[in-house]
Structure 1
Amino acid sequence: MKLTDITSRTVSIPLSTPFRTALRTVTSMENVLVEVHSDSGLTGFGSAAPATVITGETVASITGGVDHLRDHLRGMDITAYEALFNTLNDCIIGCMSAKAAVDIAIHDLLAKSLNIPLYRFLGGPVREVDTDITISLDDPAAMAAKSGERVKQGFSTLKIKVGGDVETDLARLKSIRDSVGDTICIRIDANQGWTPKQAVQVGRMLERENIQVELMEQPCAAHDLEGLRFVRENCSFPVYADESMFSPRDALRLVTMKAVDGMNIKLMKCGGIYNAIKIAAIADTAGIPCLIGSMMECSVSVAAAAHLAASRRNIDKFDLDAPLFCSVNPARGGITYRGCRIEFPDLPGLGISSYT
């Protein structure tokens, strides 16, 4: 089965509500939709989302990257996919989101060629994947109210965006815990919004106030791996890397330094499923669990992340809620949401038949 062409187009998807973190505020998302065509008549679907403040990529750089990948991959045997993915990763430096979109579409195509769902192609029986839901930055009362609404909608794990003034962040977390009670799981994500000392201060304040949190994600600057280790060594709850970990090489460095308790895999950061599997293997060998997350992405690439999560034992936390913020779905088919539960269609590949 030969790869004959790769095409892309851009869609703008308004969000149902603004999404705010310590790094940016988003009111609509631009996604690049990709199709990989083959001489078998089968088509694979993938997508990419630019996140300039995180990956450094724009819509223009992604579409340009996809075109470059097309020129190097056209004519290759898709079933000889080790060579295909090595070429994909080696023919251009960076452009991880463009690589992710093409990688996802190739994996979709491979699973379709065997007439099995992608999670089966990746080696896993489907299991339950229950996503958390993100509470974006706002004043404490508004975040508490939104948290209460999400719990009523069936979410049992909340990912709370923090990062900035420490006292305000503590007020946010106290208000949320008072609103939802002690049985709801709370994760906190600072998106690099604190210094290492501030992160430790927050951790100790939470302990004094007896506010239980499951984990703290990316408390300090992405480049400050020593700072991450300092936070890990001085906090009583797990510390996870996000923006500090893009590649398998980054994962190996974090493991070697004993800088984190876990890592957040995102396909847009690492370049797709092929590299994500390597990261998960490194973490699994080191006895470190992984969380799988996403940027502000549409359901196409998030579906790929969900299928990967369903196939790997040490990916045991799921932050795949981005499509729930979208006002429209650009794909026909794929995953669906029932409250916090992600449901997989019993169809080949991602279960996507076309774009709308």
Structure 2
Amino acid sequence: MKIKAIRFAKLKVPLVTPFKTALREVSFIEDLVVIIETHCGQIGYGSAASTPVITGDTHQGMISVIKQFIAPKLLGLEIENINQLTHIIQTTVVGNSSAKAALEIAVYDLWGKLYKAPLYKLLGGGQSELKTDITISVDNIDKMLSDCQLAVDQGFDVLKVKIGNNLNQDIERVKAIYAGFASKALLRLDVNQGWSAKQTVQALQQLEHAGVVLELVEQPVKSNDIYGRSLEVKTS
């Protein structure tokens, strides 16, 4: 099964409930779809969203980097050589994580079709089902509590709570949600780069002191603040 061509399409899907983060508000998902065609007629599909304020990736940027740099190295190669394909995708250019992800998804889609087996089995997994969370948009406390109740009523037991636009309000939001739903669902916080490193420590200390137990806190600081620079104190 050799790669014959790589082409693109767009997929736009409206959301039943728009979600808000510290960086943006989204009312629909618009993905770039990467389509890999093979000489035997099989087709693999992958996709990625445009997230310029998060990763810097846009649809046009993804198309350009795939067309100009990665696709020429993949054409004619065998799908069975999955390690070779993923190595090329990951090392041909620096960054461009969304473009690489879309390509890899399409390649793995074809790899599963080549061996006529579900991908989770080929990768060594034994479970055919995965549990996911539901996103609770950042909003006023009453609205967030209402959204949490709706999610729990629908059967979700893991809530991914978006915060990050105001530290003090964020802390009160999380306290209120925990008080109302700690016995019904696990809480995950997604701050979307909304806090500094110092604010992150402050918020988590206050939440811990209030007895709030969290499963995880995602992306509290700026994506390039790997070392928590805002915690450093300058001395003369």
> Considering the TM-score relative to the shorter chain, is it more than 0.5?
yes
State the partner residue of 2:196: 195
Offset, 1:110? 1.1
Following the alignment from structure 1 to structure 2, what is the Cα–Cα distance between the partners of residues 9 and 106? Answer: 16
Asked if the contact 2:198/2:230 (under 8 Å) is kept, the reply is no
Asked if the contact 1:145/1:179 (under 8 Å) is kept, the reply is no
Offset, 1:181? 4.2
State the partner residue of 2:46: 46
Q: Is 1:32–2:32 an aligned residue pair?
A: yes
CA RMSD of aligned residues (A): 2.0
Shift in CA distance, 80/208, structure 1 to aligned 2, threshold 3 Å: closer
Gaps of 5+ in 2: 232-236
Letter in 2 for 1:101: A
State the partner residue of 1:137: 138
Asked if the contact 2:2/2:76 (under 8 Å) is kept, the reply is yes
State the partner residue of 2:58: 58
Computing the radius of gyration over CA atoms, which structure comes out larger, 1 or 2?
2
SS at match of 2:178: helix
Shift in CA distance, 89/207, structure 1 to aligned 2, threshold 3 Å: closer
SS at match of 2:228: helix
Any idea what the Cα deviations from partners look like across 1:77-112, whole Å, max 9, x if unmatched?
Answer: 222232222222233333221221111111111111
State the partner residue of 1:186: 187
Offset, 1:141? 0.8
Offset, 1:196? 1.7
State the partner residue of 1:6: 6
Shift in CA distance, 149/228, structure 1 to aligned 2, threshold 3 Å: farther
Gaps of 5+ in 1: 231-356
Following the alignment from structure 2 to structure 1, what is the Cα–Cα distance between the partners of residues 129 and 110? Answer: 24
Letter in 2 for 1:185: L
Q: Map of 1:253-272 to 2, 5 A cutoff?
A: none
Offset, 1:228? 8.5
State the partner residue of 1:237: none
Offset, 1:46? 1.0
Q: Map of 1:196-275 to 2, 5 A cutoff?
A: 196-227=197-228
Q: Is 1:88–2:86 an aligned residue pair?
A: no
Following the alignment from structure 1 to structure 2, what is the Cα–Cα distance between the partners of residues 183 and 164? Answer: 26
Letter in 2 for 1:64: S
Offset, 1:4? 0.5
Asked if the contact 2:152/2:184 (under 8 Å) is kept, the reply is no
Shift in CA distance, 204/53, structure 1 to aligned 2, threshold 3 Å: same
Any idea what the Cα deviations from partners look like across 1:138-182, whole Å, max 9, x if unmatched?
Answer: 011100110011011111111111113222112211221233243
| TM-score, L = length of structure 2 | 0.89
Asked if the contact 2:20/2:26 (under 8 Å) is kept, the reply is yes
Following the alignment from structure 2 to structure 1, what is the Cα–Cα distance between the partners of residues 123 and 53? Answer: 31
Asked if the contact 1:8/1:66 (under 8 Å) is kept, the reply is no
Q: Map of 1:340-351 to 2, 5 A cutoff?
A: none
Shift in CA distance, 116/157, structure 1 to aligned 2, threshold 3 Å: same
Offset, 1:70? 2.5
Shift in CA distance, 208/90, structure 1 to aligned 2, threshold 3 Å: closer
SS at match of 1:84: helix
Offset, 1:49? 1.0
Identity over aligned residues, as a percent?
Answer: 38
SS at match of 1:97: helix
Any idea what the Cα deviations from partners look like across 1:293-329, whole Å, max 9, x if unmatched?
Answer: xxxxxxxxxxxxxxxxxxxxxxxxxxxxxxxxxxxxx
Asked if the contact 2:133/2:160 (under 8 Å) is kept, the reply is yes
Letter in 2 for 1:215: L
Following the alignment from structure 2 to structure 1, what is the Cα–Cα distance between the partners of residues 95 and 209? Answer: 43
Letter in 2 for 1:131: T
